[in-house]
Amino acid sequence: MIKAVYPGSFDPVTLGHLDIIKRAAKVVDQLVIGILVNYVKTPLFTLEERVQMLEEVTREFPNVTVKMFNGMTVDFARENDARLIIRGLRAVTDFEYEMQIAQTNHTIDSDIDTIFFTTSLEYAFLSSTIVREVAHYNSDISKFVPPVVVEAFKKKYNHL
């Protein structure tokens, strides 16, 4: 039984995240998405909103669950009996940071490894930050996020 965790802020979940989730769910038996509670910046969406959106977009995958977590990803992995951490890589700019985190985690617990999925080309530019910016300027975000997120922005900004 291969279990993995996919940690992130998901503020909000994008089609880029969803692509990684779909691909990871095919290669592991169980995937636990972990929404980080101790986010340094103030998130736009509350934890509950982010959980709700992720649960809705992953409903079609029976082996995917969504949880919140506080603290180190390695601890979250251990608590879920997972020995794999899934992360996505977009451009070289992600590489240095991701490498540092993966090596730190592996040093803390050598039983835990990180697996990287390279982004699908069509989502290579996509980040939650970009989506929040585009939405802030009242532009169409439907090519970047699932419909439930478009609706969530409408509620939040009341203008899209």
Residues that bind ligand ADP (CB under 6 A): 8-10, 14, 16-17, 20, 87-88, 90, 94, 119, 123, 126-128
3-state secondary structure string, 118-147? Answer: ECCHHHCCCCHHHHHHHHHCCCCCCCCCCH
CB-CB contact of 120 with 90 (8 Å): no
Q: Which is nearer to ligand ADP, 85 or 159 (CB)?
A: 85
Q: Is 41 one of the catalytic residues?
A: yes
Q: Is 87 one of the catalytic residues?
A: no
Annotated catalytic residue within 90, 106, 132, 156 = 90
Q: Is 22 one of the catalytic residues?
A: no
The order of strands in the sheet holding 84-89 is 64-69, 30-36, 3-8, 84-89, 113-118
Q: Which is nearer to ligand ADP, 41 or 159 (CB)?
A: 41
Give the shortest CB-138-to-ligand ADP separation in angstroms: 22
Q: Which is nearer to ligand ADP, 75 or 94 (CB)?
A: 94
CB-CB contact of 81 with 19 (8 Å): no
The residue assigned the tokens 């169409």 is 140
- Indicate which residues carry an active-site annotation: 17, 41, 90, 128
